[in-house]
Amino acid sequence: MTSFNEVRLSMLDLVAVREGGTVAEALDIALATARKAEELGFERYWLAEHHNMPGIASSATAVLIGHIAGGTSKIRVGSGGIMLPNHAPLVVAEAFGTLAELYPGRIDLGLGRAPGTDGATMRALRRDRVETEEDFPRDVMELQRLLGPATPEQKLVATPGAGTNVPIWLLGSSLFSAQLAAHLGLPYAFASHFAPRMLYQAVQLYRSLFKPSAQLAKPYVIVGAPVIAAPTDDEAEYLASSTYQRVLGIITGRRGLLPRPIENYAAQLGEQERRAIGDFLAVASIGGPDKVRTRLQKLQADTEADELILVSDVYDRDLRLRSLEITAGVMGR
């Protein structure tokens, strides 16, 4: 069992475009954040694939992974995740095989089962392909073959890709990927940063069903954790108002750029809105150092997570970096 002082820290970034800002500035902030995470000893820096969503600049995920890996020196960089229904496995294998050749030992391939976008955009990505429940497991196993050593009788070879053995992770917010990760002996990351409802059930199921594999001898769990840390609880709550506004926009279907923080924002909302935001951010750690430590300790103890992957949507670049510093500090990094 991993103790709180032993748990690894990582970062998940959707590369938010800020109100009054540009995509280029969002990409610069992502690189600065990755460099800070590396400086603080974080294990990995993942980027999430989303399409046709205002305010998210991580749609060309493999391209951005290369940019971040090229601007850092040792932190692992990867996808959290590539939404596999959007892509042919061969294309993913070639892209990540190329990244693995450019940055040996530093690339992760996290895979998600959801399209990460709306139906019209999904059709634009894969045209008229009809997705079935059997497609995701089959595509994952095809990726494993394409990234593993090529065999003499193999007719389809990913070049680059074959023999790189890029580590595959399964991501999920329900029980489906938990069961598949356990069956294939793959590490598992739960998206509790936005869908915490089935966190404990999924993690327990994954561990109970896990079968050792060539990639992994025993279960390994990453838990997504929204974190906004500041010197005081009041300042953290003020900074978190950007996240609250973003979450409310997701819930109501009015997505946009990452908003500036607003004083006493939560107090201006109705009870139903506050409850919806609270459900979305049920495992969030928002506050000063003591509160963040207490919340993260409880999350790690309740899930026995091997690793926590932080999501931190702070509007101000420097205050975002400060949030990571405070969080690393309370965890003894």
Q: Over the stretch 163-196, which tens digit does the pLDDT of each residue have? A: 999 999 999 999 999 999 999 999 999 999 988 9
Structure tokens at 277: 């935001």
What values do phi and psi take at 66, rounded to 5?
-60, -40
Of all helices (H) and strands (E), which one includes residue 47?
Answer: strand 44-47
What mean pLDDT comes out for the span 136-146?
A: 97
Q: How far apart are CA 10 and CA 96, in angstroms?
A: 20
pLDDT at 127: 55
Specify the higher pLDDT residue, 4 or 272: 272
2-224+298-313 to CATH, choices 3.40.50.20, 3.20.20.30, 3.40.190.10, 3.30.70.920: 3.20.20.30
Nearest Cα to Cα of residue 314 among 251, 241, 215: 241
Longest dimension (CA), the chain: 66
What distance, in Å, lies between the first and last C-alpha atoms of the chain?
19
pLDDT-derived band at 1 (thresholds 50, 70, 90) equals confident
pLDDT at 5: 80
* Residues counted in the chain: 333
* Averaged pLDDT of the chain: 94
Amino acid type, 164 = T
What DSSP string runs through 197-217?
Answer: TTHHHHHHHHHHH----SS-S
What mean pLDDT comes out for the span 205-217?
A: 97
pLDDT at 128: 61
The answer to whether the CB of 144 falls within 8 A of the CB of 138 is no
270 burial via Cβ count (<10 Å: 0-12, 13-18, 19+): exposed
| Percent residues over pLDDT 90 in the chain | 86
Domain boundaries, the chain: 2-224+298-313, 225-297+314-332
The answer to whether the CB of 239 falls within 8 A of the CB of 314 is yes
pLDDT at 198: 95
Nearest Cα to Cα of residue 286 among 314, 254, 263: 314
211 burial via Cβ count (<10 Å: 0-12, 13-18, 19+): exposed
Q: Is the model's pLDDT at 323 over the cut of 80?
A: yes
Each residue of 218-236: pLDDT tens digit? 999 999 999 999 999 999 9
In this prediction the pTM is: 0.94
Structure tokens at 129: 């392909």
**Which positions ≥6 away from 244 have C-beta within 8 Å?**
265, 266, 269, 277
What mean pLDDT comes out for the span 52-67?
A: 95
pLDDT at 131: 66
Q: Is the model's pLDDT at 6 over the cut of 60?
A: yes
What mean pLDDT comes out for the span 14-37?
A: 98
Structure tokens at 230: 């500041």
Sign of CA dihedral 127, 83, 105, 219: negative
Structure tokens at 60: 């060309």
pLDDT at 129: 63
Q: How far apart are CA 105 and CA 117, in angstroms?
A: 30
What mean pLDDT comes out for the span 19-41?
A: 98
Q: How far apart are CA 201 and CA 311, in angstroms?
A: 22
pLDDT at 3: 81
Q: How far apart are CA 102 and CA 104, in angstroms?
A: 6
Compute CA 309 distance to the chain's CA centroid, rounded to the nearest angstrom. Answer: 7
Per-residue exposure over 196-210, b if at least 16 CB sit within 10 Å of its own CB, e if not: bebbeebbebbbeeb
pLDDT at 100: 98
| Percent residues over pLDDT 70 in the chain | 95
Q: Is the model's pLDDT at 333 over the cut of 90?
A: no
pLDDT at 214: 92
pLDDT-derived band at 37 (thresholds 50, 70, 90) equals very high
Structure tokens at 37: 């995470």
Structure tokens at 49: 């694939």
